[in-house]
Structure formats: structure tokens, C-alpha cells
A and B are shown apart, each in its own frame.
Chain A
Amino acid sequence: DAGVTQSPTHLIKTRGQQVTLRCSPISGHKSVSWYQQVLGQGPQFIFQYYEKEERGRGNFPDRFSARQFPNYSSELNVNALLLGDSALYLCASSLGPGGYGYTFGSGTRLTVV
């Protein structure tokens, strides 16, 4: 069974541009969460979706948005990119929101120049 799949692996964007990151959860997992990990730090929670509804939002500006599709895959969109948005973006899936423990993808490394 495939794990959590994220695409693209790496990308470079210019300040002010928009980016879309994609995540496919493990088959059967209905919860998807997004985290931002700046180099040298622990991840920071951005969003959680469960059954296609937003269940949680972290302390990120409105430039960050996400959605979950009927097949439970998810997209994270970031508008008006800033240099400070450069980070590793991690997607995690689980059977449901809760303490099952999340399975993470390998992340998308976003560099804003």
C-alpha cells in the first residue's frame, strides 16, 4: 500500500507568486493535516481536514488556504508568497482526527526567492 504522497518534491517560486501543493493520503485515511517546518525548527500546524471539512486552522495568515476532495486528497494553496514562506511543507494523514498517530509524507521543499 502506498504511503502519503506529496507533490512536487521541490519547487522554487518568486515573491508574490502563488503555489499549490498536493497530498494523497493513505488509502482509507479520511483526515489530512498540513504543517510548515522552517529549517531548524519543529513543524507548525496549518490546517486539518476531516471528511472534507476544515476541522482546525493554525495561526497562519489568510494567504494560506486548503481544501480536501471527495477522494480525501488535499491541496494547500499559498498566495502572495513571501521569503518567509520558504520551508518544508508536510502533509500527514490518519484514520480520523485524534490520537491514532499521523503518517507523514516526505514533504515539499518550497524556496521563495
Chain B
Amino acid sequence: AQTVTQSQPEMSVQEAETVTLSCTYDTSESNYYLFWYKQPPSRQMILVIRQEAYKQQNATENRFSVNFQKAAKSFSLKISDSQLGDTAMYFCAFTPYDSNYQLIWGAGTKLIIKP
């Protein structure tokens, strides 16, 4: 079975600090996409960052970057200079190329940014 594990149910940091959210996944596929989504209290899932498994270079989007370790099946998210608006649930997800592109999700990490 293909699974995603987020081992940190909840994290909290002070505003402006850097925080890293962990994600590991299990798949026998070699080609897939990885995502981090943010879900604020408004409920809407917002795409934070996307990584293609065949690319060795880690994706970055402004304050957000990933550490993708394909051999270890690890895909952590680093948020630099954290802001109050980053407070949300963060979900790690992946989709193998041959799965009809259904997203397989972790259980999420609740991130709280304190002023």
C-alpha cells in the first residue's frame, strides 16, 4: 500500500523563526509528484510547493523550500521567516504517475505561529 506519514501532529514556533515539517512516504513507483498543501481555518486547500521526483533539485517558492531525499523517501518542508498567516494545517501528498493521479495524503501537521 502507498502511504504518507507526517510524524508531527502539531508544532508551534515564534514569528520570524524557521520551522521544518517532516514527511515520509512509501511507494514502489519511481515516477511521481510530491506536494505540500496548506489548509487554513477557511478549509480551502492551498498548494504551497510541488516537486517532481525525477528532479534532484529541491523546489523553492519564496519562503518555502523542500528537502527531497528520494532514496530515503523523505520530503520535508522548511518555512523561513515564519509569519502569523502561516498558521494552518499542512498536508504532504504524493501522486504516482500511473495511479490516475489520485493524491495520497498524510494526516497533516498543525502549525501554530506565535506572535
Give the A-binding residues of B (Cβ under 8 A). 4, 32-33, 35, 37, 42-47, 50, 52, 91, 93, 95, 97, 99-108
Number of A-B contacts (CB under 8 A): 66
Contact A48 B47 (CB under 8 A): no
Contact A45 B43 (CB under 8 A): no
Give the B-binding residues of A (Cβ under 8 A). 31, 33, 35, 40-45, 48, 55-56, 58, 88, 90, 92, 97-99, 101-107, 109
Contact A101 B101 (CB under 8 A): no
A45: nearest residue on chain B (CB-CB)?
A: B102
Contact B47 A42 (CB under 8 A): no
- Within the assembled complex, what's the spacing in Å between the Cα atoms of A102 and B102? 10
Can you spell out 27 A-B residue pairs with CB atoms less than 8 angstroms apart? A31-B101, A33-B102, A33-B103, A35-B103, A40-B107, A42-B4, A42-B91, A42-B105, A42-B107, A42-B108, A43-B45, A43-B103, A45-B102, A48-B101, A55-B101, A88-B43, A90-B45, A92-B45, A97-B101, A98-B33, A99-B32, A99-B101, A101-B47, A103-B47, A105-B44, A106-B42, A106-B43
